[in-house]
Amino acid sequence: MSPRRDVVHDNGAVFEPRINTNSGFIDTYDAQLDTALRPGDLDEFIGQEEMKSQLRVVLGAARNRNETPDHLLFAGPPGLGKTSLAFIVAREMGVGTRVTSGPALGRVGDLAAVLADLKEGDILFIDEIHRLPKPVEELLYVAMEDFRLDVIIGKGPGARTLRLEIPRFTLVGATTRAGMVSAPLRDRFGYQYRLNYYRDDDLELILRRSASLLGVELLEDAARQVASRSRGTPRLANRLLRRVRDFADVNHRSVVDLQVAREALSLFGVDELGLDVVDLQILRVLCVQYPGRPVGLSSLSVSVHEDAGTLEEVYEPFLIQRGLLVRTPRGRVATERAYEHLGLESVGTLPL
C-alpha cells in the first residue's frame, strides 16, 4: 500500500487523524480536510458574485467607520458555503468567532452564557437559526438591537429583572429554511442573502483549487465531469473529489483523467446528472408507481423510506432545478425529462 500523502494548508499545518480528548470523538482525516479546503477570505470564495460584491461593501464600510457590521443572515440549501462565510466575515473584520446552532440553544440560559462570553466586535454564528426556541429568540431580539440582556432573577412577586450590558457583536445566522425564520427575527438582520446553487464552471474552479491542496493532478475534462455531477454544491464537489482521489490511489493511477473520474463516480452511485440512489428512487416512484399522477409529500416519503423534511429540503430542490420534478397544488409530478432519464415512455406528463 502506498503511503498516505499528508495535506499542507496555506499556514503550513499538516492535517492528520487525531483524537479529540475533550469530546471523546475521533476527528477524521476527511473532517479536517473539510476545514482545510474552506476559503479563507472573500477573494478565495468562488461563485456567488452578487453576494460577494454586496458583502464587500457592508464589511468595508464597517471597517472604515471602525464599527461592527450589521447582523447578517444567509439562507440556502446545505453545502453552499454559509458556515464558510461566517468565518470569512470574522477574518475580514479581524475578530473572533463563536459557533453554535439553533437546536443547541435550548434554554434562555444557554444563549445568555454564549452572549456573556463574547468580546467586543466578535462574530456569533448560529447555524439552523430557524430552530431557535421562542423564549431564546425573544431574548436574542434585545441582544441584537440594544446589546443588553434582561435576566429575570427569582420567581413570583419577588422576581426582579437584572439588566446586563454585553459587547457589541455581529450575529451571522444561517438557515436552510428561510420561510421558517420568524418575521421579527428576520427584520433585525441588516443584510440578508439567499445563496444559489453553483454553476458548473464555478465548481470546476473550486475543484481545481481543492485538487491543488490535496496534491491531486486533476485534468480539465475530469474536473468538468465531477463538477457536472456535484448537484451545484461545493461541499459535495469536494466530497466527490476525495472519493475520486481514493479510487485513483487504489487503482495506482497518478493522474485523474476523464476515464478515472467516470469509473469512480459510477462506482459510488452518482450518475451523469448527479443523481444518487435516493434521487433515482424518488423518480421511479413518480414514474412507475404513480405514472402521470401527482403524489403528496407524505406518500412519497413513505414510498422511498425517507423523512419528509429531508425530501423537501435536500432532494426536491435539485430535482426541480434539473427539470425532473415539479410541485403542483395536488402534489409532486415527474416531468418528461424524468421519464427519458429513466428510459421510460412518457404518459402525458408535464413538459420540460
82, 131, 231, 337: which one is catalytic? Answer: 82
Q: Is 242 a catalytic residue?
A: no
Collect contacts of 47-52 with beta carbons under 8 A, ≥24 apart.
Answer: 47/81, 47/198, 47/199, 47/202, 47/203, 47/205, 47/206, 47/234, 48/80, 48/81, 48/195, 48/196, 48/198, 51/193, 51/195
Q: Is 100 a catalytic residue?
A: no
Q: Is 127 a catalytic residue?
A: yes
176, 233, 335, 349: which one is catalytic? Answer: 176
235, 245, 322, 332: which one is catalytic? Answer: 235
Q: Is 83 a catalytic residue?
A: yes
83, 175, 233, 349: which one is catalytic? Answer: 83
- Of the candidates 130, 72, 62, the residue with the CA atom closest to the CA atom of residue 92: 62
Q: Is 28 a catalytic residue?
A: no
127, 131, 202, 349: which one is catalytic? Answer: 127
Cα–Cα distance list, 182 to 130, 186, 253, 281, 292 (Å): 7, 6, 52, 34, 37
**Residues identified as active-site:** 82-83, 127, 176, 235
